[in-house]
Amino acid sequence: MSGTTSIEGPPRPRPEIETAFVGGEAVLLNVETGSVYALNPSASLVWLLLDGVLQTPAVAAELSEIIQVPADELLPDVEAAVAGFAEQRLLDQPPASATPLPSYLVPPPDP
């Protein structure tokens, strides 16, 4: 893909993207621009797993559990789907404040 936009950190949908499922396929609406995207069933499953917590390899592992295909076989397709979502500006960048706090600012664990 030319001009691929990279996403740092775990991929997650932009907040202005609304998702509806029609017949097992995701339809995405960017409420700010009015753009609509229809995803095939495979891309829909990947989209469903993008939560801003799981890194791309973990998304492939979760998808592997769902469709019973080895994660290492799925990873290139998951990476391609995430890259496509990023290229279409469907994914959000993590906030700058997502960096870990210094240990002196983290409260101690409960006893």
Confidence of residue 24 (pLDDT cuts 50, 70, 90): confident
DSSP letter (8 states) at residue 24: T
Asked if residue 109 has pLDDT above 80, the reply is no
Closest-CA residue to 53 (of 42, 44, 61, 65) = 61
Residue 103 domain flag: no
Domain assignment of residue 3, yes or no? no
How many domains, in total, are found in the chain? Answer: 1
> Would 81 be classed as within a structural domain?
yes
Say how far apart CA 12 and CA 49 lie, in whole Å. Answer: 9
Domain around 65: 12-90
d(C-alpha 84, C-alpha 80), whole Å: 6
Residue range 38-93, pLDDT digits in tens: 999 999 999 999 998 899 999 999 999 999 999 999 999 999 999 999 999 999 87
